Amino acid sequence: MKKILVLACAVLMAVSTMAFAGPSLGFSVAPGTVAPTMLSVGWDFGNVGIEAFKADLTTPYGVWAFGVLWTPQQGSFGYRAGARLFLDWNNGPVVYQSFCFVLGVSNTWGPIRLFAEVDLAPTGLLIVIPVVGVNILFDGLLPSGKDVGL
């Protein structure tokens, strides 16, 4: 009985979360780094976005990046500020690798968001990594209630 109650609460939370958020899928390019192209999946909660990045898609192992970004929009123009955590998973324990601060801008045209940012990695020396990317915001692809006359 407890398992059913916990499962029901989890489904209710997922449904309520989906009511005010939308998934995103995209890729980013960081020239001059070991992993220049990364696939990103995430969830957009209005002014906050949660993203996960993976470069080598042939295996689930390797370096994963997880970020939380504040993304306020003014019309189609927006800002990106937050942090990203890099974790390494090699068929065993997950090991911390590094983190970086993210500062950037974005422009959104319907469901397409183009962004440019710099990742600031304080690893003894300050490493500045320029990143350019595109995200597809799936909530922009679906019509809202006012678009269909509801």
pLDDT at 55: 87
Taking residues 5-10, report their average pLDDT. Answer: 56
**pTM value?**
0.76
Give domain limits for the chain. 21-140
SS3 of the chain: the string is CHHHHHHHHHHHHHHHHHHCCEEEEEEEECCCCCCCEEEEEEEEECCEEEEEEECCCCCCCEEEEEEEEECCEECCEEEEEEEEEEEEECCCCEEEEEEEEEEEEEEEECCEEEEEEEEEEEECEEEEEEEEEEEEEHHHCCCCCCCCCC
pLDDT at 18 over 80: no
pLDDT at 49: 92
Domain 21-140: which CATH number of 2.40.128, 1.10.8, 3.10.120, 3.30.750: 2.40.128
